[in-house]
Amino acid sequence: MINWPNKYHPSRTSVHVTNSLNVTVKPEILWAWMIRAQLWPTWYPNSSNVVFLNTKGPDLAKGTRFRWKTFGVTIESEVQEFIPCERLAWNAIGTGVDAYHAWLFEPGNILTEETQNGFLARLSSLAMPNRMHKYHQIWLENLRDKALTGLP
């Protein structure tokens, strides 16, 4: 279950997407790839230009602020929840988008959910209703595939 901040709870947002994937990879290896955000563009095609703003990295941690580009929008995010090998969540704020993206890592399964508010989020959801779901599934599948190669 996702620990939603009140303003991002699915009942209070215009967009809510859920994806999950059964996996055989250990959560520790999946986690290692997921928190190495600057490597996302090498294996997740819907991300680019990941830059840490308040730390050198290389890994995300609670409070890490980073700028990146996804779905054609430059986003600033801050890690809000960080429980190693279990939970990861960040906000995502950009022009017309105010979102919250959470991940749960469980033995045998990865779950990711995102909620969004903002005019661009609503417009994108109406114009291309399955786009976020499609790319989040790609993210999960590519994460699994990367983790199958071992640690980053």
**Tens-place pLDDT, residues 82-128:** 999 999 999 999 988 899 999 999 999 999 999 998 866 666 666 66
Share of the chain above pLDDT 70, in %: 93
In a domain, 104, yes or no: yes
The sign of the CA dihedral 74, 57, 82, 111 is: positive
Provide the percentage of residues in the chain whose pLDDT is more than 90.
84
The answer to pTM > 0.75 is yes
If one counts the domains in the chain, the total is 1
> Helix or strand or coil: residue 82?
strand
For the segment 39-68, the average pLDDT, to the nearest whole number, is 97
Query: How many whole angstroms separate alpha carbon 54 and alpha carbon 65?
Result: 6
Q: Which residue has the higher pLDDT, 130 or 104?
A: 104
Residue 131 has pLDDT above 80, yes or no: yes
pLDDT value for 126: 61
Per the domain annotation, does 4 fall within a domain?
Answer: no
Residue 87 has a CB neighbour count (10 Å cut-off) of 17
**What three-state secondary structure class fits 113?**
strand
Q: Residue 62: inside a domain, yes or no?
A: yes
Domain extent at residue 30: 24-147
Let me know if residue 109 belongs to a domain: yes
For the segment 18-45, the average pLDDT, to the nearest whole number, is 97
Looking at residue 124, its pLDDT comes to 67
Distances 50 to 38, 67, 135 between C-alpha atoms, Å = 5, 6, 17
**Distance separating alpha carbons of residues 134 and 136, to the nearest angstrom:** 6
Q: What mean pLDDT do residues 58-70 have?
A: 97
Is residue 17 assigned to a domain? no
Q: What is the CATH number of the domain that holds 51?
A: 3.30.530.20
| Cα–Cα distances in angstroms (integers) from residue 1 to residues 4, 116, 147, in the given order | 9, 18, 23
Question: Is 122 among the domain residues?
Answer: yes
Evaluate whether residue 89 is within a structural domain: yes
3 in any annotated domain: no
**Residue 14 pLDDT level (bands cut at 50, 70, 90):** confident
58 — phi, psi (to 5°)? -85, -5
